């Protein structure tokens, strides 16, 4: 009788490395490790793949999803101006549905019946993984060793040492770090004390914005709401985000220190770096300011916020998110043009705007010669606009006198 197969979301770290032999023993199963390249940099993913095999995986795969992540996940976030709680650009939340998609595909390919991840029961990612799998592959069951088997780090280290697994179990970062092309998330350790300020050692994508340096100016071109070029040079999505990460990061742009509302109901201190994300969203918002009609723009702000909340909450594969995205896509028809940003001292400041689809009319806006705005229409407009409030005020005064 053949063994059950488990597809494991594999990062190459201690927890998921230990999970390979542990799942094999606990479930009497064969484990297939799947690592996803999301532009996180750092360790060679071929080394990661070989480590998975060394830990006992019957198969190990590395999926190059860098361009897919940039085009299908990061760029929709730009179109939605996605900032959870008006600050967080969804660094980790955007990556989880893409990982889930490839886990589900690997499960079909390897005839697996179980998917496993390394999330704990305290975070958002367990929800993102499992809600996504429920939508894409409801026939699969899910096992999370760190959550389901009360797997602590001390237990994991002892387990790895006992079985002589090919991983470093002596070095422990004081932080929990997740990173990809869109940014970097840092939590735990001394950051859990809300009174402690972040130190420079925790940052990797951004330089200290307080250090004196000359600024950098970049022109970002958009076509239908999607970034397509930097300084007039057309680039793929991955290339554009990578270059802007470097240029904005060198100016300290994209640092965020916040207490956020987790889906599981607790508040959590998080430090993020997203140089390209913050710069692109700032540029996109400004281009929308000159190309979207007023009422459309007002309504979209609420749609954007809800889109970001749904992605944060792990509902990427949901009917409402799809509907919100259809509206957002429709609004992007005329969001085409160029935005000039000055990157300096941790800020991305808009200094120029150009669009053939602009709704800004200089002749209407100017107070100088050439003004085409007919001010004689304003008096009647103001009277009609004020009428509901005026009638209510008169009613209130009348009722008050009759008391």
Using an 8 Å Cβ cutoff, are 127 and 264 in contact? yes
- 242 has binding-site annotation: no
- 272 has binding-site annotation: yes
- 176 has binding-site annotation: yes
User: Which of the following is catalytic: 5, 96, 184, 247?
Assistant: 96
Nearest to 99 by CA among 128, 59, 78: 128
- 338 has binding-site annotation: no
User: Which of the following is catalytic: 15, 178, 304, 313?
Assistant: 15
Using an 8 Å Cβ cutoff, are 341 and 282 in contact? yes
- 171 has binding-site annotation: no
- 111 has binding-site annotation: no
- 225 has binding-site annotation: no
- 125 has binding-site annotation: yes
- 9 has binding-site annotation: yes
Q: Is 176 a catalytic residue?
A: yes
User: Which of the following is catalytic: 125, 178, 304, 313?
Assistant: 125
Q: Is 87 a catalytic residue?
A: no
- 203 has binding-site annotation: no
Using an 8 Å Cβ cutoff, are 10 and 35 in contact? yes
- 378 has binding-site annotation: no
Q: Is 15 a catalytic residue?
A: yes
The whole-angstrom separation of Cα 101 and Cα 57 is 20
Q: Is 216 a catalytic residue?
A: no
- 15 has binding-site annotation: yes
- 312 has binding-site annotation: no
- 10 has binding-site annotation: yes
User: Which of the following is catalytic: 37, 147, 176, 257?
Assistant: 176
Binding residue positions for L-aspartate: 120, 124-125
Binding residue positions: 9-17, 88, 118, 120, 124-125, 128, 176, 260, 272
Active site residues: 15, 96, 125, 176
Binding residue positions for L-citrulline: 88, 124, 128, 176, 260, 272
Binding residue positions for ATP: 9-17, 118
């Amino acid at each position: 009788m053949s063994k059950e197969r488990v597809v494991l979301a594999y990062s190459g770290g201690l927890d998921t490395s230990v999970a390979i032999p542990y799942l094999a023993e606990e479930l009497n199963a064969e484990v297939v490790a799947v690592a996803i390249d999301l532009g996180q940099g750092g360790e060679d993913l071929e080394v990661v793949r070989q480590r998975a095999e060394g830990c006992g995986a019957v198969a190990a795969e590395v999926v190059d999803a860098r361009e897919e992540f940039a085009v299908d996940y990061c760029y929709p976030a730009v179109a939605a101006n996605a900032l959870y709680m008006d600050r967080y650009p969804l660094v980790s939340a955007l990556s989880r549905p893409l990982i889930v998609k490839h886990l589900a595909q690997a499960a079909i390919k390897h005839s697996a019946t179980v998917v496993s991840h390394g999330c704990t029961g305290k975070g958002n990612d367990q929800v993102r993984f499992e809600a996504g799998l429920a939508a894409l592959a409801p026939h699969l069951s899910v096992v999370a060793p760190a959550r389901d088997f009360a797997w602590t780090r001390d237990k994991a280290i002892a387990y790895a040492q006992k079985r002589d697994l090919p991983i470093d179990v002596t070095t422990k970062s004081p932080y929990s770090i997740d990173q990809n092309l869109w940014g970097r998330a840092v939590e735990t350790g001394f950051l859990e004390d809300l009174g402690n300020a972040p130190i420079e050692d925790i940052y990797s994508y951004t330089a200290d914005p307080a250090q004196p340096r000359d600024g950098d100016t970049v022109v970002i071109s958009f076509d239908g709401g999607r970034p397509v070029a930097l300084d007039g040079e057309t680039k793929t999505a991955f290339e554009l985000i990578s270059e802007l990460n470097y240029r904005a990061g060198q100016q300290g742009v994209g640092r965020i220190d916040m207490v956020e509302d987790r889906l599981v109901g607790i508040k959590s201190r998080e430090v993020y770096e997203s140089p390209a994300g913050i710069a692109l969203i700032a540029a996109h918002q400004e281009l929308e300011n000159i190309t979207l009609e007023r009422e459309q723009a007002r309504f979209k702000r609420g749609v954007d916020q809800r889109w970001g909340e749904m992605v944060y909450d792990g509902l990427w594969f949901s009917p409402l998110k799809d509907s919100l995205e259809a509206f957002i896509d429709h609004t992007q028809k005329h969001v085409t043009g160029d935005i000039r940003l000055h990157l300096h001292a941790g800020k991305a400041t808009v200094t120029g705007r150009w669009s053939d689809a602009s709704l800004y009319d200089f002749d209407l806006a100017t107070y100088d010669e050439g003004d085409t705005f007919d001010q004689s229409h304003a008096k009647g407009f103001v009277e009609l606009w004020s009428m509901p409030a005026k009638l209510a005020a008169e009613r209130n005064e009348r009722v008050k006198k009759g008391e």
